[in-house]
């Protein structure tokens, strides 16, 4: 019999129960026992649901109170010394301190670094490997959950991050050892873990090694062999699990490691199927990830069955079916969505529906297609309805895309010439000061937005309130004597949603939450059709803000790549095509802003870097279309209009070329935390345009000192000519309070003034 299983289920809960419980626990409103009860209720509800979908076993250990990588760090005793003595049994409070920092001792108790999980929008906590680290096993939490599932009469399949991937994700701290030096010790702990799981009656363990979809050196490939060879006995069966990409040159290695099965992501990389069937030894299970865990559309089950029928014939009960990856990256249940056009909604599949798809495929293969004829026809019909939706193909958009030419992606002249014209127009001092766009989103702003949304505040009243906030923000910036002002983004909840709501081709869910980190969730828009801009989106606010001051006010847009990256996208055309449509819509917005007299337009691309493919050999193709889309959006302006862009991350070295090719007149970037180190990349490469290296970290409530910011800028001026430097914070200020923002910016402006006084021009 063919088996069906799941790699992981979203844990936050359909009503975000886990989020609310966590936040109440952190505020001290509920004891840990109540939090734990919520957690175990969610687990059992989700297991029941998965079993009811027809799965043969349920994933255990995919649930986490904060982050599954952090859970592994606790399980292996990888607790940084600032959170307690080595060998101490970590407590729930240690766990949350590692995740969120220790409020009582902010200087020592800073949280572990958080970073993106492969190419997803999920953030994990980076394991810290300190000197003299001793891996230790504390598997009680996992074993307890195995027991919970077994007590429900289910077959529990623990989900464990594999030793190589766990090591890869971590960082060696304050010592000169290579990560792989730690492997032998770590493998010993895994051996004990597997032995304990076997003792607990576990038949299969899912061992996630997604790094097999990355570029790996010979050393790491070798380490796979040695680690799994050492783990070959005294354990349950292991399902080596990969996802997010094609294993390519590692596929043969993965087929031959001494484990009992292999899971492949056939959504991202269907071409793996045939070689895997050739190479996989005949005693091993092949688990095929055929239902897309990274997108929200129903799958083409009939088409899949054509592929799977002969595979099932050949493999028999060695074939397992599953989603491509953990369902952590999709929302829970689309039957809760009532506001989306029914033709589009019918084409959606969230976690619950995806498991139904897996269950259905299994039945079709086991009992024959006829047994599920009705369900298959219904699925085909739903897909056909979605694809027939008139919003999918808009002739006007298609014509415009077909008419895009190279000239549209190029400014009229080069930066050097534009600079002269812009200088004459803007009359800015040396070291001009500015901010990144948003100002504090106060309780009044949020309540005005909420009341408007719930129909309690009429449009006119809402707009009035927003104008007042804009006027207040402009007044405060003038008082601070900033040189280039912003309107403050009071009207925006989210930098992608705000634009998506005004563009054709997007729909929004009510409950489509996806965990981003800890208790934080995002509700990504869904791009289902051709993207077009029915009317100007930001022009009235920008015009109003500019009318209040003689200083230039920047127009503020989210870039095409970021809008694409932070949405669920349509699956019927390449991402690059969708991105180009967004770029054209933004291009129109840019020219409307220009026509309204806005002299500086900022197009934020914080997600440019995270769109990078997992394999470096795929980077150039991505960067080519991503850069082109930014340029299509931005290049339609006159020389006198200054284009800014903003990115908030520090690792630029890899993509500095592409960033220069964006040809923005000014880029503002995050550098404050890395002490301007990244500017070396910019100087080494001789970055040609202007740069505003963030002089303070907006994530910290501390008020930055004038002297420190001045010093950072002097450091920057060693690698970049002073006349090309701007002074600004490293990101938007919406999460801060005015009480922090005003003194910080006052100091920042003072730093710029000191720099001007001493600068030799
Ligand atoms: N303009 C946006 C802001 O200031 C940029 C946000 C971001 O970089 N993520 O909030
Ligand atoms: Zn930013």
Lowest mean pLDDT among 6-15, 467-476, 592-601, 712-721: 712-721
CA of 717 to the centre of ligand 1 (A): 25
Atom in ligand 1 nearest the alpha carbon of residue 438: 4
**Average pLDDT over the chain, rounded to an integer:** 95
Q: Is 604 exposed, middle or buried (0-12, 13-18, 19+ CB in 10 A)?
A: buried
pLDDT at 683: 64
pLDDT at 760: 53
- Looking at the predicted structure, is the pLDDT value of residue 362 above 90? yes
CA of 128 to the centre of ligand 1 (A): 29
To test the ligand 1 pocket, which listed residue (609, 668, 732) has its Cβ within 8 A of the most ligand atoms?
Answer: 732
421: three-class secondary structure by DSSP: helix
Mean pLDDT of 510-521: 96
pLDDT at 102: 81
DSSP H stretches of helix in 346-442? 351-367, 373-387, 395-402, 415-426
Percent of the chain beyond pLDDT 90? 90
pLDDT at 697: 87
To test the ligand 1 pocket, which listed residue (116, 435, 438, 648) has its Cβ within 8 A of the most ligand atoms?
Answer: 438
Residue nearest to atom 3 of ligand 1 (CA): 732
151-191 pLDDT, tens digit each: 999 999 999 999 999 999 999 998 888 999 999 999 999 99
Catalytic residue among 138, 256, 389, 699: 699
Question: Whose CA is closest to 603, among 724, 745, 499?
Answer: 499
34-75 pLDDT, tens digit each: 999 999 999 999 999 999 999 999 999 999 999 999 999 999
Tell me the helix, strand and coil percentages in the chain, rounded to 5.
50, 15, 40
pLDDT at 673: 60
Mean pLDDT of 532-537: 98
67-118 pLDDT, tens digit each: 999 999 999 999 999 988 766 777 899 999 999 988 777 667 788 988 899 9
Task: List C-alpha distances in Å: 499 to 494, 534, 601, 636, 738.
Answer: 9, 12, 16, 20, 26
Ligand in nearest proximity to the CA of 556: 1
Percent of the chain beyond pLDDT 70? 97
pLDDT band for position 127 (cuts 50, 70, 90)? very high
CA of 604 to the centre of ligand 1 (A): 7
pLDDT at 391: 97
pLDDT at 699: 82
Atom in ligand 1 nearest the alpha carbon of residue 558: 1
Residue nearest to atom 1 of ligand 1 (CA): 437
Ligand in nearest proximity to the CA of 672: 2
Residue nearest to atom 6 of ligand 1 (CA): 732
431-474 pLDDT, tens digit each: 999 999 999 999 999 999 999 999 999 999 999 999 999 999 99
pLDDT at 675: 62
pLDDT band for position 510 (cuts 50, 70, 90)? very high
162: three-class secondary structure by DSSP: coil
Ligand in nearest proximity to the CA of 649: 2
For this structure, is 374 an active site residue? no
CA of 728 to the centre of ligand 2 (A): 11
CA of 566 to the centre of ligand 1 (A): 13
- Looking at the predicted structure, is the pLDDT value of residue 522 above 90? yes
To test the ligand 1 pocket, which listed residue (566, 600, 606) has its Cβ within 8 A of the most ligand atoms?
Answer: 606
Mean pLDDT of 332-354: 96
pLDDT at 715: 87
Ligand 1 is surrounded, with C-beta below 6 A, by: 436-438, 489, 495, 556, 604, 606, 646, 648, 731-732, 734
Ligand in nearest proximity to the CA of 565: 1
Task: List C-alpha distances in Å: 454 to 173, 341, 450, 457, 464.
Answer: 50, 20, 6, 8, 17
Atom in ligand 1 nearest the alpha carbon of residue 435: 4
Scan for tokens 């079916």, then name that residue: 321
CA of 623 to the centre of ligand 1 (A): 22
């Amino acid at each position: 019999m063919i088996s069906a299983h799941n790699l992981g289920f979203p844990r936050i809960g359909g009503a975000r129960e886990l989020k609310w419980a966590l936040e109440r626990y952190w505020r001290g409103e509920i004891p840990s026992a109540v939090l734990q009860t919520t957690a175990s209720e969610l687990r059992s509800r989700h297991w029941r649901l998965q079993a009811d979908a027809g799965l043969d076993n349920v994933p255990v250990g995919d649930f986490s109170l904060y982050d599954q990588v952090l859970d592994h760090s606790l399980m292996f005793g990888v607790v940084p010394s600032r959170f307690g003595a080595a060998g101490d049994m970590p407590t729930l409070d240690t766990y949350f301190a590692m995740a969120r920092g220790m409020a009582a001792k902010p200087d020592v108790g800073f949280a572990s670094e958080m970073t993106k999980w492969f190419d997803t929008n999920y953030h994990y906590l980076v394991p810290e490997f300190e000197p003299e680290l001793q891996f230790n096993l504390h598997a009680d939490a996992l074993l307890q959950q195995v027991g919970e599932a077994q007590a429900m009469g289910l077959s529990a399949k623990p989900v464990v991050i594999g030793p190589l991937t766990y090591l890869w994700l971590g960082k060696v701290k304050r010592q000169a050892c290579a990560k792989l030096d730690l492997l032998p010790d770590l493998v010993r702990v895994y051996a004990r873990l597997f032995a304990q799981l076997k003792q607990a009656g576990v038949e299969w363990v899912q061992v996630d090694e997604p790094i097999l979809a990355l570029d790996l050196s010979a050393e790491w490939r070798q380490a796979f062999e040695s680690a799994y060879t050492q783990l070959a006995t005294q354990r349950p069966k292991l399902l080596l699990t990969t996802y997010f990409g094609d294993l390519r040159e590692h596929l043969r290695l993965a087929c031959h490691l001494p484990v009992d099965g292999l899971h492949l992501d056939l959504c991202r990389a269907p071409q793996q199927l045939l070689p895997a069937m050739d190479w996989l030894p005949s005693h091993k299970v092949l688990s095929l990830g055929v239902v897309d865990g990274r997108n929200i559309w129903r799958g083409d089950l009939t088409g899949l069955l054509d592929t799977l029928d002969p595979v099932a014939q050949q493999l028999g009960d060695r074939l397992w079916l599953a989603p491509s990856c953990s369902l952590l990256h999709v929302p829970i249940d689309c039957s809760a969505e009532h506001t989306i056009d029914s033709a589009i909604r019918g084409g959606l599949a969230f976690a619950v529906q995806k498991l139904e798809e897996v269950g259905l495929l299994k039945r079709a293969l086991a009992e024959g297609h006829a047994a599920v004829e009705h369900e298959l026809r219904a699925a085909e019909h739903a897909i056909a309805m979605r694809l027939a939706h008139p919003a999918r193909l808009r002739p006007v958009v298609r014509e415009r895309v077909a008419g895009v030419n190279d000239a549209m992606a190029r400014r009229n002249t080069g930066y050097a010439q534009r600079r002269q014209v812009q200088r004459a127009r803007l009359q800015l001092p040396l070291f001009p000061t500015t901010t990144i766009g948003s100002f504090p989103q106060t309780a009044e702003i949020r309540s005005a937005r909420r009341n408007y949304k719930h129909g309690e505040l009429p449009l006119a009243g809402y707009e009035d309130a927003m104008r007042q906030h804009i006027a207040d923000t402009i007044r405060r910036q003038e008082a601070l004597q900033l040189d280039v002002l912003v309107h403050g983004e009071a009207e925006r909840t989210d930098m992608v949603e705000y634009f998506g709501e005004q563009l054709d081709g997007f729909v929004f869910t009510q409950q489509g939450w996806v965990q981003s980190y800890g208790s934080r969730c995002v509700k990504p828009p869904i791009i289902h059709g051709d993207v077009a801009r029915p009317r100007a989106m930001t022009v009235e606010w920008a015009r109003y803000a500019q009318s209040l001051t003689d200083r230039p006010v920047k127009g503020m847009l989210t870039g095409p790549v970021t809008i694409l990256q932070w949405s669920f996208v349509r699956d019927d055309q390449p991402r690059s095509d969708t991105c180009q449509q967004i770029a054209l819509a933004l291009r129109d917005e840019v020219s409307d802003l220009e026509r309204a007299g806005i002299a500086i337009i900022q197009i934020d691309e914080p997600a440019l870097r995270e769109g990078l493919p997992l394999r470096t050999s795929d980077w150039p193709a991505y960067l080519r279309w991503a850069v082109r889309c930014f340029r299509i959006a931005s290049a339609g302006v006159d020389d006198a209009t200054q284009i800014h862009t903003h990115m908030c991350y520090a690792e630029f070295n890899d993509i500095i070329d592409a960033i220069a090719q964006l040809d923005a007149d000014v880029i503002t970037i995050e550098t404050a935390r890395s002490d301007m180190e990244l500017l070396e990349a910019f100087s080494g490469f001789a970055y040609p345009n202007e740069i505003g290296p963030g002089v303070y970290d907006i994530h910290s409530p501390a008020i930055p000192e004038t002297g420190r910011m001045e010093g950072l800028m002097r450091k920057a001026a060693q690698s970049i000519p002073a006349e090309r430097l701007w002074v600004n914070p490293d990101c938007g200020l919406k999460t801060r309070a005015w009480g922090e923002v005003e003194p910080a910016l006052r100091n920042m402006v003072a730093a710029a003034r000191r720099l001007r006084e001493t600068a030799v021009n």
